A and B are shown apart, each in its own frame.
Chain A
């Protein structure tokens, strides 16, 4: 395949900066804390961004980050301490395990995998709450992971933007 056919697909990404990861996770937390009217169908932005970094940078972002983010989410929402920590730890583990496989697919193929991952995390947190005695809020909570997966291509493009910026453009260079 010639390089000129799909320059964006062939471009080598710049190394990721820690600031980008931290900022994206903070923005995701902020989006989760926004006063949504009906929370059930709203995607879990923290889970989405965490999945993204676990797939792309499994050595930098992993279970520890997921656990800490889960704890912050739990406290911010006033739910059982450890509910999201458990869900996000398991999510990070699954995302890291699948990371090699996921990146082979196109963006929409990746989104399908992500839908399964997000639904898994949602299921874990639902299981914890039902075990603690809450009532089932209805199947609307299954919409969140689907909408989250639909956002995956957008998130992928946005979060890789910083790594796509070339430091110096050289038309004659091979890569």
Chain B
């Protein structure tokens, strides 16, 4: 007769077996996510599960803001109002001139038969929180696919480009900031039209122009705007100002550090541009005669951005 232990001694599989099971499951997910990006479906479902907790977590800050707003004194508000009025006056004049210039540009473009630039759709969004991840620079905004945000859209604030939407969930989206190490943006020097690609420099909160020849014509204080070559960022958005240039004869490239124009790491409200940026087909890899252009540099997140389009 066989004896089996009573059921209350039964503790299931041994801890080591369980560890092997869960660890291999986690490792499989890691590989699927990092290499093949097959896990977006699972991620979209789980995001909805944590969404209530995340909105709840932003409540204390929102409440504090409302209480602070209630106690803001009238004189302060009046001062701010006057300040905004003068600023509006200044910008409206610029805007009028811009409108005229845009109309003129449109006519000229039609004349030369170039594609007319379409007006961009802008979705205002609020930054909910920074991702709790010291290894990357990401924020989560409160607009998602339901509001027309799609992966790959550029994100700007009042002063310039902040980053790019890298994942669009149903109700929220993740924005990778320009300063992230894996984020690249094609830029152009306003002064002389020199093209380059700016990469995030990581934790220092700056940008870097890589692969610029040591004798490239660039100087401190140069303004960089988007060149629009990649078809993702519309041309002409302010990106950064050159802050420091180190030219070393030992290296072929100069080390150029730039200060982002937008409040990339601060600020609460952003605009998600998007919808209709005109994306050209990527050119075929033809052969050795094809020159390497800055706008063609591989964007790390492109696979992600294309998946949803």
Does A32 have its Cβ within 8 Å of any Cβ on chain B? Answer: yes
- Is residue B84 contacting chain A, with contact meaning CB distance below 8 A? no
Which residue of B is nearest A130, CB measured? B135
In the bound assembly, the distance between CA atoms of A26 and B132 in angstroms comes to 17
Contacts of B39 in A (CB 8 A): 81
Provide the bound-state CA to CA distance between A89 and B19, in Å.
7
Q: A80 to B33, Cβ gap below 8 A?
A: yes
Q: Are B131 and A79 in contact (CB under 8 A)?
A: yes
Against B, the Cβ 8 Å flags (1 = close, 0 = not) of A123-140 are 000101100111101101
Q: Are B203 and A36 in contact (CB under 8 A)?
A: no
Are B167 and A78 touching (Cβ within 8 A)?
yes
Select one of B46, B134, B167, B181 contacting A39, CB under 8 A: B134
* B203 pairs with A72, CB closer than 8 A: no
A35 and B130 within 8 A (CB): yes
**A99 CB → nearest B CB, Å:** 11
A109 surroundings in chain B (CB, below 8 A): none
**Does B30 contact A62, Cβ atoms closer than 8 Å?**
no
Contact of B18 (CB < 8 Å), options: A29, A63, A76, A78: A63
Please, how many angstroms separate the alpha-carbon atoms of A175 and B52 in the complex?
43
Stretch at the interface among B20-28, B113-121, B208-216: B20-28
- A63 near B138 with CB under 8 A, answer no
Task: Report Cα–Cα, A169/B130, bound state, in Å.
Answer: 48
Q: Does B128 contact A (CB under 8 A)?
A: yes
Residues of B within 8 A of A132 (CB): 30, 34
Given contacts A35-B58, A93-B15, contact A76 B136 (CB under 8 A): no
- Highest count of chain A CB atoms <10 Å: which of B53, B58, B135: B135
B residues in contact with A93, CB < 8 Å: 15, 18-19
In contact, B134 and A79 (Cβ under 8 angstroms): no
Interface positions, chain B 194-235, Cβ under 8 Å from A, are 202-203
Q: Is the interface of B mostly helix, strand, loop or mixed?
A: helix
Shortest distance in angstroms between A25's beta carbon and chain B's nearest beta carbon? 11
B-side interface residues, number (CB < 8 Å): 47
B72 at the interface (CB under 8 A from A): no
Q: How far is the CA of A59 from the CA of B10 in the complex (A)?
A: 11
Contact in complex: A82, B132 (CB < 8 Å): no
In the complex, how many angstroms separate the beta carbon of A22 from the nearest chain B beta carbon? 13
| B130–A141 CB distance below 8 A | no
A64: Cβ under 8 A from any B Cβ: yes
B134 contacts A67, C-beta separation under 8 Å: no
Could you tell me the distance between the alpha carbons of A134 and B181 in the complex, rounded to whole angstroms? 8
CB proximity of A39 to chain B, nearest CB, Å: 5
- Tell me which of B11, B34, B46 contacts A71 (CB under 8 A): B46
A contacts with B, residue count (CB < 8 A):
49
* With A35-B58, A63-B19, A82-B30: A135-B202 Cβ-Cβ less than 8 Å: yes
Residues of A within 8 Å of B18, CB to CB, are: 62-64, 93
Given that A76-B54, A90-B23, A97-B15 are contacting pairs, would A83 and B30 also be in contact in the complex, using a CB cutoff of 8 Å?
Answer: yes
Q: Is A86 an interface residue (CB 8 A)?
A: yes
Interface residues of A in 66-94 (CB under 8 A from B): 66-67, 70-72, 75-83, 85-86, 89-90, 93
Interface contact B61-A35, CB-CB below 8 Å? yes
Taking the closest CB of chain B, its distance from the CB of A71, in whole angstroms, is 6
Contact present for B27 and A75 (CB under 8 Å)? no
**What is the minimal beta-carbon distance from A51 to any residue of chain B, in angstroms?**
15
Query: Is B157 an interface position by the 8 A CB rule?
Result: no
Given known A-B contacts A33-B54, A63-B18, A75-B47, A70 and B132 have beta carbons under 8 A apart:
no
Say if the beta carbon of A96 comes within 8 Å of chain B: yes
Q: A77-B132, A85-B25 are in contact. List 5 more A-B contacts (CB 8 A).
A: A33-B129, A33-B132, A75-B50, A76-B53, A133-B182
- Using a CB–CB cutoff of 8 Å, the interface residues on chain B facing chain A are 11, 15, 18-19, 21-23, 25-30, 32-34, 39, 42-43, 46-47, 49-50, 53-54, 56-58, 60-61, 128-136, 138, 140, 167, 174, 181-182, 202-203
* 10 closest residue pairs by CB, A with B: A82-B29, A35-B129, A86-B26, A33-B57, A82-B30, A134-B135, A137-B134, A85-B26, A81-B33, A75-B46
